[in-house]
Structure 1
Amino acid sequence: MPPSVTLLEARGILQIAGADTRSFLQGLMTTDINKASETRALYGALLTPQGKYLHDFFVAQMGDCVYLEAEKARLADLKKRLLLYKLRADILIADVTGEFRVYALFGEGALAALNLDATAGAARTFKGGCLYVDPRLAAAGTRAILPIGTTPDFEGFVAANFDKYDRFRIGLGLADGSRDLVPEKSLLLDYGFDELNGIDWKKGCYVGQEVTARMKHRGLSRKRLLPVTLAGKPPAPGTLVQLADRDVGTLTSVCGDIGLALLQLDAVEKAAQEGTALQAGAAQLTPTPPSWLRL
């Protein structure tokens, strides 16, 4: 089966330009902006001072500008929060969503067809925009940011609807922004940001760094976002997951008979040991931890 391409209509783009762009972002985001280049993309997040999730995004370099690919519906909030820290920094932040389209290219053979190394974050310029291997996980395929008006001629790829990409993403255990994380509440380590290159532990301070580092070094993460298979009527996102009438998690993304759920790890272990089913509404859940996850 040939690889697939999906237009990601729910994604938006912020452009950040100016002499202080890198120093400005370095003090805010969880990843090391100094590692970004036209040949390397990054994945990172913006946190509250208490270490709670606000936004996650992909970071791409094109020319002298840095581009943040994030949720379109929440892009105005991301821009507003960044501007709160601007002070006298020589930067300009612009919403350029209307100038670009974002595509996901995925499936067997996708990276080879695009002449990209199978390395998370590998990037190159392409048709006035850029291509980059998903910085979280090379198996997640490639993303393309292309100027509107550019013919997206992805030779060898077949067009796929969003549900096909969503099932692919869910199967890999990858969160999709505020569909899976709760702004001002979620903690990154519960969602695999450590394993998925979303946190650079060697960079200097950033907003929320102290709490995040403490959780890491004390092993305080007791929950994980996991792919699940669903048997029975698919519940709505937000449905509580139970084990023997005890709430042990929440279903987040759902696409047909699969989904993602934030689950207490002790409950997952207990259910497996006892052969007891996790329940969400009328459906039984079976967790399927991805190979990249470290438990």
Structure 2
Amino acid sequence: MSIHHALLPSRALIALGGEDWRSFLQGLITQDVETLAAGEARFAALLTPQGKLMYDLFVVGQAEGCWLEVEAEHREALIQRLKMYRLRAKAEIAADETPVSALWGGPAPAQDEWVTDPRLPGLGFRSYGASLPATDDEEDYDAHRLELGVPGPADWGFEQTYPIEANFDLLGGIDFKKGCFIGQETTSRMKRRGQIKTRMLPINFDGEGPAFGSEILAGTLRAGEVLSGMDGRAMASLRLDRISGELTADGWEVRVERPDWMAADQPPPLS
């Protein structure tokens, strides 16, 4: 099995420190950080008060403070938002230019510091400033992630999607036992009621396939929307009550796949 290592220029870091950093962050994001250990990464999100996704995060424990791995294009906006929330908390917030990379297809090399990707074992490891030469690029990593059926930022957009619809609950991105966080009421209510109507799932098709945003139809009924992807495969936002029959998108026949990592009852079995 070959090891793949790719730099991820679409990702960037924010350094968070100061004596109040844990309590400050704990009240904001979907993940518990009170028990975060140095060298450990946890997947999380910062939501709107209405419970929709703004920013996905990896929170990476350091000896003092943590790194927040975020989308590079949104880093400055997130820094400004964190400073707005800071108020009197003794927390230091600054951009960090350490490069982000991912490794998959084998064990982490001993000569570099790597953290396990907390979403799925198959996604491998994340590294910050690794000295290992790159063997692949970010497009290769995205293809690997898509092959595992894991959605990414291009799929959930900005303030458009509830985290459960993007499978954050199944990928370890929400701690339902922690205290309050922004958007918790809506998120907890969706989970508690168990009435999740829409989720992101991979779809397969022959050839180039339908474009991003194409409507997916179950007969004449809307079943969902095509999201990011490549030839033969894409992510899709799908109504779970309309995916058991034949589906088309922009004239293409599409086939829904349920990844092995999804719980047996989420979503319903496909025919």
Matched, 1:240 2:240: no
2:98 to 73, 97, 100: 100
- 1:212: Cα distance to partner? 0.7
The one-character-per-residue Cα deviations of 1:54-112 (angstroms, maximum 9, x if unpaired) are 1111011222121011110111222222222111111121111xx211111112xx22x
Match of 2:47 in 1: 47
Evaluate the alpha carbon distance shift between residue 206 and residue 75 of structure 1 in structure 2; reply closer, same or farther with a 3 A threshold: same
- SS of the residue 2:86 aligns to: coil
- 1:256: Cα distance to partner? 1.9
- SS of the residue 1:33 aligns to: coil
The one-character-per-residue Cα deviations of 1:178-212 (angstroms, maximum 9, x if unpaired) are x0103222111112111111111111111111111
CA RMSD of aligned residues (A): 1.7
- SS of the residue 1:189 aligns to: coil
| Preserved contact between residue 103 and residue 143 of structure 1 (Cα < 8 Å) | yes
- SS of the residue 2:210 aligns to: coil
- SS of the residue 1:85 aligns to: helix
| Preserved contact between residue 17 and residue 93 of structure 2 (Cα < 8 Å) | yes
Match of 1:285 in 2: 254
How many aligned positions are there?
264
Could you tell me which amino acid in structure 1 is paired with residue 31 of structure 2? T
C-alpha separation in 1, matches of 2:80 and 2:219: 44
C-alpha separation in 1, matches of 2:48 and 2:132: 40
Question: TM-score scaled to structure 2, two decimals?
Answer: 0.92
- Which structure shows the higher helix fraction? 1
After TM superposition, the structure 1 = structure 2 runs for residues 60-209 of structure 1, keeping only pairs within 5 Å, are: 60-96=60-96, 99-107=97-105, 110-111=106-107, 113-114=108-109, 130-146=113-129, 152-153=131-132, 159-177=135-153, 179-209=154-184
C-alpha separation in 2, matches of 1:160 and 1:185: 31
- SS of the residue 1:191 aligns to: coil
| Preserved contact between residue 232 and residue 283 of structure 1 (Cα < 8 Å) | no
- 1:41: Cα distance to partner? 1.1
| Preserved contact between residue 207 and residue 231 of structure 2 (Cα < 8 Å) | no
- 1:171: Cα distance to partner? 1.6
- SS of the residue 1:284 aligns to: strand
| Preserved contact between residue 208 and residue 230 of structure 2 (Cα < 8 Å) | no
Could you list the runs of 5+ residues in structure 1 that have no partner in the other structure?
A: 116-125
Could you list the runs of 5+ residues in structure 2 that have no partner in the other structure?
A: 267-271
- 1:162: Cα distance to partner? 2.5
Evaluate the alpha carbon distance shift between residue 84 and residue 57 of structure 1 in structure 2; reply closer, same or farther with a 3 A threshold: same
C-alpha separation in 2, matches of 1:212 and 1:76: 26
Evaluate the alpha carbon distance shift between residue 220 and residue 183 of structure 1 in structure 2; reply closer, same or farther with a 3 A threshold: farther
C-alpha separation in 1, matches of 2:256 and 2:29: 31
C-alpha separation in 2, matches of 1:256 and 1:101: 29
